[in-house]
A and B are shown apart, each in its own frame.
Chain A
Amino acid sequence: MVNLIWSVMIISAIIVSAINGNIGSVTQIIFDSAEKAVGIAFSLISIMTFWLGIMKIIERSGFINFVIFIVKPAAHWLFPGVPRNHKAMNAMLMNISANLLGMGNAATPFGIKAMDELQKLNPRPDTATDDMCTFLAINTASLTLIPTTIIAIRTATGAQNPTDIIGTTIVATFCSTLTAIFCDRLYRNYNRWKNRSSTL
């Protein structure tokens, strides 16, 4: 699917450029975008380095146990393949709590760390596990309680009450998250059913 979207985007872009007579700009766009991409990766180094350091402190001190205590029941239901107190569970809980508070940048290093730990539980390293898919489903649906960036933009553009979209955002984000969890469960059960009937 990623392969399809990626190639369709590039092929259609080149064809449209040719029809519009803009074929000359294609090369320049490729150079500029590639440079931007490396820039993003490099700006990630700074935040990743700092947050992974802080996270190690939080992990080592046992502070994570407070968070786990609150979200644990839901997490065990969501990720049945991850053992209790596994590092992957800690990282996922950190990621989900950071997202809840609108700390997108802080959530990313936790998320990548979680994938690293989930990968250690993966019997087939090139294929996503059920728990990875569930984790990404929750992440792409972005369960947020405080949409920080949007509030900042609304303030900047002169909104009367910049936070008045918090209510609608929470409702919409719950809709997308519940949809993600529901679809993910359907896929999980369908795959399990398919595997069972193929072994019979």
Chain B
Amino acid sequence: MYDFINQITLWVVPGLILFALLYASYRRVKIFDTFIEGAREGFGMSVRLIPFLVGMIVAIGLFRESGAMELLSNLLIPLLNIIGIPADLLPLAIMRPVSGSSALAITTELMNTFGPDSLIGRMAATMQGSTDTTLFVLTLYFGAVGIKKTRHALNVGLIADAAGILAAVLVCRMVFG
């Protein structure tokens, strides 16, 4: 089963490119000319993102390194015991909507410390896999087109993250607990 899924994940990107090129040549599309036409937009789009990325990543770096995040986790421990989230998972739960690469680092660290087959390790894996980095996605996507009034997007994203995190904890308790 693992080999099968592993093969699928290995094949997804090359397979899509292969299929796209085969189908495009069947439809007699000028493949390379078309590629260049689309690729030309890549640079400008990435450069437009720089101010948004700098602003967010500096804030996250300061918040984590200064110890402010740890302070917040310590304050919230009684609340977490009521919901049933192990306190060790709190930094991950806080970081997951804010910074993808930091969350991934925390997940890796949790699996190393508790073992990938421990309940905490599996909860961390499920959390990491089941929600995306809300703040990053909003910054990136709204930033790319210059939207300043984001309306209800952030609230919806954070509520969905909370639902995903709770679901990850509950489902893992039921399946692996």
State how many residues of chain B have any CB contact under 8 Å with chain A.
Answer: 104
Q: Which of A62, A103, A133 contacts B151 (CB 8 A)?
A: A133
The answer to whether A49 has its CB under 8 Å from any CB of chain B is yes
The residue on A at minimum CB distance from B24 is: A61
User: What would 9 more interface pairs be, CB under 8 Å, given A13-B66, A140-B131, A140-B137?
Assistant: A16-B71, A38-B53, A111-B141, A112-B45, A140-B138, A153-B107, A153-B116, A172-B168, A184-B152
Q: A115-B142, A139-B137, A180-B160 are in contact. Are A33 and B130 (CB under 8 A)?
A: no
A102 vs B130: C-alpha distance in the bound complex, in angstroms?
11
Q: Which of B47, B67, B104, B117 contacts A159 (CB 8 A)?
A: B117
Residues of B within 8 A of A158 (CB): 116
Q: Restricting to B146-168, which residues have a CB under 8 Å from any CB of A? A: 146-157, 159-161, 163-164, 166-168
Q: Restricting to A9-61, which residues have a CB under 8 Å from any CB of B? A: 9-10, 12-17, 20, 22, 25-26, 29-30, 32-34, 36-38, 40-42, 44-45, 48-61
A-B contacts, 24 listed (Cβ < 8 Å): A9-B62, A13-B65, A29-B66, A34-B58, A52-B39, A53-B34, A53-B36, A53-B38, A56-B35, A57-B20, A63-B24, A111-B140, A112-B144, A132-B142, A132-B153, A137-B156, A140-B161, A141-B164, A147-B130, A150-B125, A162-B116, A165-B129, A176-B163, A180-B163
Q: Which of A50, A111, A142, A153 contacts B108 (CB 8 A)?
A: A153
Q: Restricting to B63-116, which residues have a CB under 8 Å from any CB of A? A: 63, 65-68, 71, 97, 104, 107-108, 111-112, 115-116
A136 vs B142: C-alpha distance in the bound complex, in angstroms?
9
The residue on B at minimum CB distance from A180 is: B160
State how many residues of chain A have any CB contact under 8 Å with chain B.
Answer: 104
Q: A172 to B164, Cβ gap below 8 A?
A: yes
A106 vs B12: C-alpha distance in the bound complex, in angstroms?
10
Q: Which of B8, B13, B97, B130 contacts A172 (CB 8 A)?
A: B130
A interface list, Cβ under 8 A from B: 1-2, 5-6, 9-10, 12-17, 20, 22, 25-26, 29-30, 32-34, 36-38, 40-42, 44-45, 48-63, 101-103, 106, 108-109, 111-113, 115-116, 118-119, 125-128, 132-133, 135-137, 139-142, 144, 146-151, 153-154, 157-169, 171-173, 175-177, 179-180, 183-184, 187
B interface list, Cβ under 8 A from A: 1-2, 5-6, 8-9, 12-13, 16-17, 19-21, 23-24, 26-27, 29, 31, 34-43, 45-47, 49-50, 53-63, 65-68, 71, 97, 104, 107-108, 111-112, 115-117, 121-122, 125-135, 137-142, 144-157, 159-161, 163-164, 166-168, 171-172, 175-176
Q: Which of B58, B126, B149 contacts A127 (CB 8 A)?
A: B149
Q: B163 to A154, Cβ gap below 8 A?
A: no
Closest CB in chain B relative to A99 CB, distance in Å: 8
The residue on A at minimum CB distance from B5 is: A163
Q: B59 to A52, Cβ gap below 8 A?
A: no
